[in-house]
Amino acid sequence: MQPTPDILAAFEAAKGFMPVDEGLALYAAARDAGRLGLPLLEVGTYCGRSTILLADAAREGGTVAVTVDHHRGSEEQQPGWEYHDPSVVDDDPGVGRMDTLPTFRRTLYKAGLEDHVIAVVGRSPQVAKVWQAQLGLVFIDGGHTDEHAGADYEGWAPHVAPGGLLVIHDVFPDPADGGQAPYRVYLRALASGAFTEVSVTRSLRVLRRTGLGN
C-alpha cells in the first residue's frame, strides 16, 4: 500500500535526500512493522522528510514514530561539505551552528502529523543507553562514518522486537557509489544471524529479526 496523495506530496515537498522509490519502500516496511503495535524509531531526523512516512504508518498502526537526532547535522552537512545547506544554520551570531529542529517542526506541522511523533533531541548512543522498550522498526539513517553508523547499530538493533524490522539507508556495495559504513553495518546485521533480508530498493535494505543475537 502506498501513502495517500497528501502524505506523498508532503514527503516530496520536505527538505531531505531520500528519493521517492526508497521512501515508498520505507513506508511499506513501516506499515508492515506497525502491525506489531510497537513504536517505529528512526535515527537521523534531519528536517523530517522520512519522518512523515514513518509517522503516517505509525498512525495507521495505532502506534507512534520516534525520531532521534541532535539536529546539528552530520559530518557531510557541515560548512564546506557537499550536503551543507546554509538555510538551516542558526543565524544567531552567538551560535552560528546548524539547527534543523525548527525546519523539522514545520515539516511535521504542515503534514498534520505532530501528534504521531515523539522527537528526541540528543545523540543516538546516549539515547539508546537509556531506552528500555521494544521497537517494531529501527531505521538507521544517521551519521555515515564507521564510528557513528556502528554505534547506531549497536545501540538500537538489540531493541528490535522478534518479527520487527531493521532498515538501513545508504547501503552501497560499490565504493564508487557512496560511503561504506552503512554497508558494513548491513553485512554485520546479516552475519549476526539475528536478521534476514526482506527487500532491497536501491540503497535501502530491509531486514527482519528472525533469530537471537544482535
Half-sphere exposure of 102 (CA within 13 A, CB side): 7
Distance CA 163, CA 184 (A): 22
Looking at the DSSP bridge assignments, the partners of residue 167 are 139, 206
Active site residue 144: yes
Looking at the DSSP bridge assignments, the partners of residue 135 are 160
Name the active-site residue from 70, 144, 148, 169.
144
Q: Is 126 exposed, middle or buried (0-12, 13-18, 19+ CB in 10 A)?
A: middle
Task: Specify whether the CB–CB gap between 98 and 90 falls below 8 A.
Answer: yes
Longest dimension (CA), the chain: 51
Judged by DSSP in three states, 208 sits in strand
What residues act catalytically?
144
